[in-house]
Structure 1
């Protein structure tokens, strides 16, 4: 049982669920008195479905412009370019529709707009480093709404992950008002999401819950909520695997992602799965939705001496009461058909030295419940996951 601490509440007004996205976006724009809405959207949703056109039609004259060239990993360069487009469109509200990359891009775009950042170097004063609790941003005049089409859960986070392509480093930027002012959950929108992305992003959302549950800095409220989220994600994902058009299962997945992200919302520090995942994605190009499946089982085994009680509760939430949490998670990954080893995503032992060199200084690796005393211990973990 946790005995001392503090629970932080996020700067988000509301989560709207079960409503058509276009209708809810328009109502939120009116509530926020926005007249120039800039859309950052998935290219697939924009060009291969009518979902984005529905949004533009509903917004009418309030639609300012649409950007759909989102990179898989958000970069400083793209954030500066899109911010310039948004300013030229006189945007007073940004709406992200798509996966985690769309949401993260919108978060950093509103900060680039606020600080008139025009190139990669303009972000240099702002990344979070060890011991820094937030980026020295001003509160943005323009806020964002997030409409996720995946289960990533980053829409419940006031931080953005942004890659500095000059040195291939993924960095964290944070300000409380980078949190979306509203999140809109429309299960119909997710029907267009590829199965591997849907399932992989769901494990990423589970990761938020698992690392909050295992964190020494977690909170009693977050613990109970994330466990409920993990249970709902597991049930919903297995159901959508069998029946992809099951709306109720997709709704359950969205609720699970929301709940599993409760520790993230409360600024509970994440652990080494997130830290190493940032290196795998930012430096080595591994899709973010495959990072958790290949790292988490081995990390749970590494952390077990320090998180045994939490892992017992986790095993039950994963459908294995009395069992081993690492084995239960690995079996879940296998059922979903996702890669479960580093070798399956192109990461061999020749890359372990570079990964450990970068990861040892990552704030989330430093926050891991079981410390890593040196790079060699990270390499040992990577060998477990090989």
Structure 2
């Protein structure tokens, strides 16, 4: 595969510790930066159903000063604001996020608001159709943070957060590169706290992102290396996760794939093939609370591949090569169809629905979903984003 000789590569200096018993590295990292007051952010579910919060408190020892165990899916704005008040009372010099993507994003949003001393509505990125997004410049210092992941989230090594607000725009984005984590810990015991359905859904989200990224023409050599390795780890370990859900090493491999996907996307700030794109899966999750991110993205990704087949057969053929399903003499169109079949086969073996009807999505909701997606701004998605409601309805019909 050809790679671009012209590229920009950014490599944030985040330390990653992985192992069946990697949690003790948290204390060493806290000591390394001279932290004296560590504040934990996690979900209520994690606090009540596992011993991970108590294990982390034990590792931190006298450095621990409090916790906010209320992180929730989509990071609702009132909850984030409550977290800011709890953190203010604790006066931390280190924030430790224990959990998956929602907890990581909630902790990052708390860090931004705490540092700036302002609310979400004063700081979120403004989107105006036809114009570049207006990103607030957040210059104040931020409390350092360390992540103890429980799911293979691709939101780990980032400098932004998105909170959910009942007032449109519902998805309000905050950005400050100073909130990138100092360290990420992939501890086998921590990763085993996530139920299999959640861990599988999050891993499918990672896989879907890598499937999209490998279709991108002319990536940098660095990004391509990360994407290929991430795809290989997912393709090998997703079936193993279902067969051996209690194996910490399988979970560590999938979490590593997520960090590779994260690094590939953040290092080049690009990705995806030549065709149209959409974040319609977000609207599915907002309207149908039972639908996971991975399942929603799987169905929409397959629909997008079919919608874009004529204009992006080359990218989909690259995917077929990466999955090992392109026959020696197959043309691009034939290879693209083989990639489609391979994805459907893998998702079926994993028990992941690939059709919207199998997820309980009503066709009568298609128009409302399409209109909601058109109205929702999205940072960095404008160039190839589908903004025609009729085309989005057609996409959902293809994914039905």
| Contact 2:124/2:174, CA 8 A, preserved across alignment | yes
User: What SS class does the counterpart of residue 6 from structure 1 fall into?
Assistant: coil
1:349 matches 2:363: yes
CA distance in 1, matches of 2:33, 2:175: 23
- Residue-by-residue CA offset, 1:288-314 (whole Å, 9 max, x unaligned): 233222211111222333433332232
CA distance in 2, matches of 1:7, 1:212: 16
Q: What residue in structure 2 maps to residue 169 of structure 1?
A: 170
- The answer to which of 240-249 and 90-99 deviates more is 240-249
1:297 matches 2:287: no
The offset of 1:270, in angstroms, is 5.5
CA distance in 1, matches of 2:144, 2:263: 21
Task: Mark the structure with the bigger radius of gyration.
Answer: 2
Closer, same or farther in 2 for the Cα pair 1:128/1:261, shift >3 Å?
farther
CA distance in 2, matches of 1:110, 1:217: 36
User: What SS class does the counterpart of residue 304 from structure 1 fall into?
Assistant: coil
CA distance in 2, matches of 1:133, 1:266: 22
CA distance in 2, matches of 1:7, 1:19: 35
User: What SS class does the counterpart of residue 146 from structure 2 fall into?
Assistant: strand
Q: What residue in structure 1 maps to residue 235 of structure 2?
A: 234
Closer, same or farther in 2 for the Cα pair 1:50/1:207, shift >3 Å?
same
Q: Give structure 1 stretches of 5+ with no counterpart.
A: none
Closer, same or farther in 2 for the Cα pair 1:364/1:135, shift >3 Å?
same
Q: What residue in structure 1 maps to residue 378 of structure 2?
A: 362
The offset of 1:81, in angstroms, is 1.2
CA distance in 2, matches of 1:294, 1:255: 24
The offset of 1:128, in angstroms, is 5.0
The offset of 1:170, in angstroms, is 2.2
Q: What residue in structure 2 maps to residue 275 of structure 1?
A: 279
CA distance in 2, matches of 1:345, 1:90: 44
Q: What residue in structure 1 maps to residue 124 of structure 2?
A: 126
Closer, same or farther in 2 for the Cα pair 1:27/1:191, shift >3 Å?
same
CA distance in 2, matches of 1:49, 1:205: 25
Closer, same or farther in 2 for the Cα pair 1:180/1:380, shift >3 Å?
same
Closer, same or farther in 2 for the Cα pair 1:132/1:353, shift >3 Å?
same
The offset of 1:235, in angstroms, is 0.9
Q: Give the alignment's TM-score, normalised by structure 1.
A: 0.89
| Contact 1:158/1:177, CA 8 A, preserved across alignment | yes
User: What SS class does the counterpart of residue 31 from structure 2 fall into?
Assistant: helix
CA distance in 2, matches of 1:346, 1:143: 42
| Contact 1:168/1:282, CA 8 A, preserved across alignment | no
- How much is the aligned-residue C-alpha RMSD, in angstroms? 2.5
Closer, same or farther in 2 for the Cα pair 1:373/1:175, shift >3 Å?
same
CA distance in 2, matches of 1:115, 1:334: 47
Q: Give structure 2 stretches of 5+ with no counterpart.
A: 328-334
Total equivalences in the alignment = 381
Q: What residue in structure 1 maps to residue 210 of structure 2?
A: 209
| Contact 1:146/1:182, CA 8 A, preserved across alignment | yes
- Residue-by-residue CA offset, 1:320-369 (whole Å, 9 max, x unaligned): 2344222222222111112222233332222222322233353455343x
The offset of 1:247, in angstroms, is 3.0
1:287 matches 2:312: no
- The answer to which of 129-138 and 286-295 deviates more is 129-138
User: What SS class does the counterpart of residue 40 from structure 2 fall into?
Assistant: strand
